[in-house]
Structure 1
């Protein structure tokens, strides 16, 4: 094991910088991971909400434009294309053909749907029930675990706000016969105006969110590592030029002076602490020269008077 006292000044300083660097990497990595995860979730949430607003526009268009045009035909025949939920789901599948939205999934999770494909699962049922328990529910988001893996989801309540929805989902007796023939009479009836019957849910694999965060984290840490490596190099270069080299030169001069070469001079190249040290050594060297001269004169005086003996 290398003892710290045996390391050179530059090595000690480099070791200190490396330790600070490693501590900074760990601390910043933890902080950046949290921030970037939240940022990635916010980006996915923004994209999901845009999709959800688009689906709501499709639903509104189907309800206000398509259904009235086919009202006479709907009296005797059920057309799935006139159902807002059906239109929204089909349009969303077209969106998913775009690679940018291929990982997104859309579902109108309903407690009592006509089409059992829209039946809310246990997790979605809890979300819907929470919406129903609130006076003015908003959107919720988070992570959930499914057999297919972990998902990040965004959900909004589905509230019955138009009378036209009750033509198919009101009482069983008033529902189109073709609807009952297609989906049966057991589900999808008894809805009331202003009732929250389900939740619009858009989900995306959690790995997509985490992968975006990891890529940003690696890029940020990579830049941080490069910048700090350059900083260590420049600091060591500066330390070697302005501290280590002058100290080595002073050490060699001090060694020469200690062996009797009192004419060796400590070069002062700066006015900083290293320069002040060189100046102090020069004063010490001059004091030593003066002391040696006095000693030499004293010895010569003793020798001339005949009283000096070796």
Structure 2
């Protein structure tokens, strides 16, 4: 500790100032980096959320169209046709439309699923992760939406889920008991799955999955770029501060210290001229007045000794 204090006392003002500025710069970069990371992460999540919500609303519109326009036109054929017509099912229509959407460039990693605990079509069967979301909606009826990230081997996937509720009696035509279901449905899917649903029961979750890895990586690259720019700006600021202090403080102080040393040895032939009326100028004037006073005192002393 004593050695450190001794070292600190021997440091020049410019060195001390540079150490202080470096500490300030490091703390600034660290704090601003944390804040920037938080802002960019939230912004990236907001961008992903907006994409997912647009797709969710689109699929909801497809479901509504199927329920109000397609189903009434094909309902009678469910009783007469041998094979079930899945086009009458809103979930099927939404899933098929989304598959066509995924064929467009850049959307192959987007996914849509109506994850159901007891579906008629087993491709809609909820996995363990999705089943927990459905149970969450069942236990917290006030929830209308949940979102978050899910990890896959291909990277992080952002998901938004909304509860699927049996909101109409017409839905129970195919999902109450096998005896009430159209024969074509039983022929196509059997009697084991998709039954015993109840009115107002939450049976699944409508889910949109959007790849988030590229957006998050873009946010990280932006954070690195901004941090590098910030470090560069702080470094340039430190350089300018050093240049200004050397010109206006340290060099004048060094010259006044040299002058004071000469005065202490009896050399009163020089004085320091500072062109500015700042603190350095006031100090220079005081030093010059002290030199004049000392010169007068020396002359008076010499006169008395003679």
Normalised by the length of structure 2, the TM-score is 0.86
Structure 2: give runs of 5+ residues left out of the alignment: none
1:245-300 per-residue CA deviation (whole Å, 9 max, x = no partner) reads: 2112223333443444313111133333222211221111111111221233234x
- Structure-2 residue corresponding to 1:248: 254
Distance 2:54 2:229 in 1: 32
Aligned length: 300
Match of 1:47 in 2: 51
Paired position in structure 2 for 1:29: 33
Query: Residues of 1 paired with 2:130 and 2:123: CA distance?
Result: 13
Distance 2:220 2:178 in 1: 52
1:271-282 pair list within 5 angstroms: 271-282=277-288
Are the structure 2 counterparts of residues 272 and 96 from structure 1 closer, same or farther at C-alpha, using a change threshold of 3 Å? farther
Q: Does 1:38 align with 2:42?
A: yes
Q: Is the 8 A contact 2:14 2:242 kept in 1?
A: yes
Question: What CA distance in whole angstroms lies between the structure 2 residues aligned with 1:179 and 1:157?
Answer: 25
Query: In the alignment, is the contact (CA less than 8 A) between 1:58 and 1:87 conserved in 2?
Result: yes
In 2, are the aligned partners of 1:37 and 1:209 still within 8 Å (CA)? no
C-alpha RMSD of matched pairs (Å) = 2.6
The yes-or-no answer on 1:220 pairing with 2:223 is no
Matched, 1:184 2:199: no
Q: Determine if the alignment matches structure 1 residue 13 to structure 2 residue 17.
A: yes
Spell out the pairing of 1:257-296 with structure 2 (5 A cutoff).
Answer: 257-296=263-302
Alignment of 1:115-126 (within 5 A): 115-126=121-132
Aligned to 2:73: 69
Give me the whole-angstrom Cα distance separating, in 2, the residues matched to 1:141 and 1:31.
23
CA offset digits 1:44-74 (Å, max 9, x no partner): 1222112111110011111111222333433
* Partner residue, 1:201: 207
TM-aligned CA deviation for residue 164 of structure 1? 3.7
**Distance change >3 Å, CA 75–CA 226, structure 1 → 2:** farther
Once residues 155 and 37 of structure 1 are traced to their aligned partners in structure 2, the CA distance between those partners, rounded to angstroms, is 20
Q: Quick check: 1:110–1:119 contact (8 Å CA) kept in 2? A: yes
Partner SS, residue 127 of structure 1: helix
**Cα pair 1:63 1:164 within 8 Å, conserved:** no
- Please state how far the C-alpha of 1:43 moved relative to its aligned partner: 2.3
Tell me the distance in 2 between the aligned counterparts of 1:15 and 1:146.
Answer: 46
Distance 1:99 1:212 in 2: 19
Q: State whether residues 139 and 155 of structure 1, in contact with CA within 8 Å, keep that contact through their aligned partners in structure 2.
A: yes
**CA distance 1:93–1:229, change in 2 (3 Å):** farther
Aligned-partner Cα distance in 2 for 1:252–1:120: 84
- Mark the structure with the bigger radius of gyration: 1
